[in-house]
Structure 1
Amino acid sequence: MPLKVAHLTTVHHPLDPRIYYKQCQSLHEAGYDVTLIAPEANQHIKENQLKTISLTKHHNKFKRMISGSAETYKQAKALNADYYHFHDPELLPVAWLLKNKRNTVIYDIHEDYETAMLQKEYLPKPLRKIASKTFKLVEKFFSRKMEKVIAEKYYKDKYPTGQEILNYPIISKRILNKEDLGNTKTNKLLYTGNVTLERGALQHAELPVIDDQVELHYIGYCKKSFADQIKGVAGDNQNRIHFKGIDEYVPKDEIEEAYLYDGWLAGVAIFPPTDHYLKKELTKFFEYMAAGLPIICSNFKKWEQFITEHQCGITVNPDDANEIKEAIETLRHEPERAKQMAENGRLAVLNGLHWGVEENKLIKWYEEIKPHK
């Protein structure tokens, strides 16, 4: 009988790329009996694609943490899985209760949660440090007997025993067959992923103001109220800002369709400096590179080292409009350089910065931590 694996989330969308497309699908194809327990899973995943158990979707954060966790525990316990692989820190108590001598429990660390707490806008500033320190203590207590897997290299500093399964992209044959790399005959810039303040949404909103030819396309979840704020920043130039994902999740295949379009000048990631992102290699970097897009991003030390190593884009001071405009004009007026950046990025992804490498690590690691019965 194949070993049973349960992936648990109360926070992420059922089609979250790391959870569903990468880990669940890879484990399923490797012969494991995989079940995904997630909010409204059955509404988004067809029966013949993967086993699912739907949780109630709670829009209130505290109700989700209490009622959602209780429901998750009940469903997961009944499954009697060999592996419980959970993706949200709020499920630490649930996973702690599920752990026994006959199973393996895996804590999947998607973010540097301790640092992220310090940027939570919904918490008053005096409480953020307290929340961060409290979280660290709670996390340490509950996760003592769990395996840990990290999505980012620098998390190793905080989780030295964590297994690196990095969030590199699945390489789509359709994207790899795309031939028009480094298109300089366009003024369209692309941003993919959640649209938030911390991820540079307001910096990106200024791009049509900085350059009067630029069009900016946000493709990812964005609250309607925040989209209105973005338009306000763009002012008279808001007609050159476009959204796909206002108040709705944008699935991976729809983002892939955007990458297949050959009318992008560059992919952008001009973030303001925050402790949470200064050391982080963005997943969107690898996706832009796979799609053959030069990158324009903030000149954080870690990001600058990455862009320099792979020669795949241009870094800018996120607060310097002149630098940003110069970067756009460089790609626009130096087609050979732009094309070389695009080709360099794609080659780097093909040479190892892709999910195929991480998939092999995941399968091998699951075998190593197999529960003994």
Structure 2
Amino acid sequence: MTTSPPDIVHVSSAHPWTDNRVHLREAAGAAAAGYSVRLIAVESDVTTRETGVEVVTIPRRRRRARMTFGSAQAVRLAVRSRARLCHLHDPELVWAVPLLRVLGRRVVFDAHEDLPDQVASKAYVSRRTARPARALARLVVRLVSTADRVVAATETIADAYPAGKTVLVRNYPRLRAEEASAIEPSRRPPVVAYVGALTANRGSAAVAGLTGSPAFPHGWRLELAGHVSAPEAAELTARPRNDELPVVFHGRLSPEATRDLLLGARVGVVVFEPTAAHLNSLPTKLFEYMAAGLAVVVSDFPLWRRLLGHLDCATFVDPTDVDAVAGAVAAYDSDPDLLDRHGRNGRRAALETFSWDGEEATLLGLYRDLIGSPTPGSHAREGGS
């Protein structure tokens, strides 16, 4: 760790240091703009490219230990960094907002989730504890509102915070050169891709049952990458790695390897179940699929239909109907022109609308408002763990 204080420290006791939003977009974007940036986040089994961000890792812990010992360790390291601006990323860190402000730091809180709705959908929140959990979530929202600025990932989340100090920075992907040279999906292997966490309310039943549906096209396979925790999908992780099998589980991959995987697929699926949190979400994987030129099969949510319906790039399905999801894949199999048109239109929308460039400009503007432009002699640091 370097001894000179960074301009900005990003702090997370829950996210791995390789996280797409926290590190590869927000922290890396600030470093590329000339700010000196440190990231305090959780250790990870995977790695990622050099970004100019100085990385300090803390141990992975179980939920209760993470929310107590992990959050305390992360905040202590943030205080010791002497950074002028602390950018916090987890609800369990909200107690540090007044402390950091008393110490003279500018504080930005990144609201990734609509907390009251998100709490209700957590598997560990029972019916008995749901009401106090939602009350606690509302208290967190009030504490977050005392930060100097709030960064919200969606418009719905932004609505919960004071308009005068809240900016919208959506989870759109950073575009890569690799996608620019991608071939049309009909010329790729017959693969359906799902990347990211696969849990009960993220469509695990539909994804796990996809290749067993009579509607699923012959000769296609499903490729998964990420963390699988749902019981109905757990067997997928136990299968041997074999490209001849209808399901291939790659485990956890680096962010770059995950996006490379998409370049070898034709269709991406996002079949989240209609929980209160998901109905207004903007999952990064959806826009990564589009950037890679995939046709997409998505839950028929009103927000997603408003975003994509007019773009002619997606098939909307009931996420609880496995045969409907499989049938959407079969429709692409039988109509290569439809497949390529949806892939081409999705790619164009990713370039023109759903990219990180505009979101990064908003975030950098926020940093300039709070601590000014990067000072002469400020420099990006070497990445690492």
Shared fold (TM-score, shorter chain, > 0.5): yes
- Equivalent positions of 1:324-339 (< 5 A) are 324-339=325-340
- Equivalent positions of 1:124-143 (< 5 A) are 124-141=126-143, 143=145
Identity %, equivalent residues: 27
User: Is the 1:34–1:50 contact (alpha carbons within 8 Å) kept by the matching residues of 2?
Assistant: yes
User: Following TM superposition, by how much is the alpha carbon of 1:221 offset from its aligned partner in structure 2, in angstroms?
Assistant: 1.7
Separation in 1, partners of 2:199, 2:69: 27
Separation in 2, partners of 1:315, 1:19: 30
User: Is the 2:43–2:58 contact (alpha carbons within 8 Å) kept by the matching residues of 1?
Assistant: yes
In the alignment, which residue of structure 1 is the partner of 2:241?
Answer: none
In the alignment, which residue of structure 2 is the partner of 1:170?
Answer: 174
User: Following TM superposition, by how much is the alpha carbon of 1:295 offset from its aligned partner in structure 2, in angstroms?
Assistant: 0.4
- Equivalent positions of 1:17-36 (< 5 A) are 17-36=20-39
User: Following TM superposition, by how much is the alpha carbon of 1:116 offset from its aligned partner in structure 2, in angstroms?
Assistant: 0.9
User: Is the 1:189–1:267 contact (alpha carbons within 8 Å) kept by the matching residues of 2?
Assistant: yes
User: Is the 2:221–2:247 contact (alpha carbons within 8 Å) kept by the matching residues of 1?
Assistant: yes
User: Is the 1:171–1:355 contact (alpha carbons within 8 Å) kept by the matching residues of 2?
Assistant: yes
**Which structure 1 segments of 5+ residues have no match?**
233-237
In the alignment, which residue of structure 1 is the partner of 2:154?
Answer: 152
Which residue of the other structure, out of 44, 56, 75, is the alignment partner of 1:73?
Answer: 75
User: Is the 1:270–1:297 contact (alpha carbons within 8 Å) kept by the matching residues of 2?
Assistant: yes
Which residue of the other structure, out of 210, 226, 240, is the alignment partner of 2:246?
Answer: 240
Which residue of the other structure, out of 5, 14, 17, is the alignment partner of 2:17?
Answer: 14
- Equivalent positions of 1:166-315 (< 5 A) are 166-178=170-182, 180-183=183-186, 186-210=189-213, 211=216, 213=218, 214-223=220-229, 227-229=233-235, 239-245=245-251, 249-261=252-264, 264-315=265-316
User: Following TM superposition, by how much is the alpha carbon of 1:163 offset from its aligned partner in structure 2, in angstroms?
Assistant: 0.5
Cα deviation code 1:312-331 (max 9, x no counterpart): 11101223345334322221
Scaled by the length of structure 2, the TM-score of the pair is 0.86
One-letter amino acid matched to 1:134:
L
Cα deviation code 1:90-145 (max 9, x no counterpart): 00112321113743100001111211110111122121122012221243135424
Separation in 2, partners of 1:87, 1:288: 25
User: Is the 1:41–1:53 contact (alpha carbons within 8 Å) kept by the matching residues of 2?
Assistant: no
One-letter amino acid matched to 2:15:
H
Separation in 2, partners of 1:47, 1:354: 21
User: Is the 2:169–2:363 contact (alpha carbons within 8 Å) kept by the matching residues of 1?
Assistant: yes
User: Is the 1:195–1:221 contact (alpha carbons within 8 Å) kept by the matching residues of 2?
Assistant: yes
Scaled by the length of structure 1, the TM-score of the pair is 0.88
Separation in 1, partners of 2:340, 2:233: 32
CA RMSD of aligned residues (A): 2.7
Separation in 1, partners of 2:100, 2:223: 43
User: Following TM superposition, by how much is the alpha carbon of 1:256 offset from its aligned partner in structure 2, in angstroms?
Assistant: 1.8
Residue 9 of structure 1 aligns to a residue whose secondary structure is strand
* Corresponding pairs, count: 360
User: Is the 2:297–2:314 contact (alpha carbons within 8 Å) kept by the matching residues of 1?
Assistant: yes
**Which structure 2 segments of 5+ residues have no match?**
239-243, 373-385
User: Is the 2:197–2:226 contact (alpha carbons within 8 Å) kept by the matching residues of 1?
Assistant: yes
User: Is the 1:184–1:332 contact (alpha carbons within 8 Å) kept by the matching residues of 2?
Assistant: no
Counterparts in 2 of 1:230 and 1:174: CA distance versus 1, 3 Å = closer
One-letter amino acid matched to 1:24:
A
In the alignment, which residue of structure 1 is the partner of 2:365?
Answer: 364
In the alignment, which residue of structure 2 is the partner of 1:235?
Answer: none
User: Is the 2:153–2:171 contact (alpha carbons within 8 Å) kept by the matching residues of 1?
Assistant: yes
Q: Choose between structure 1 and 2 for higher RCO, CA contacts under 8 A separated by at least 6 residues.
A: 2
Separation in 1, partners of 2:74, 2:318: 44
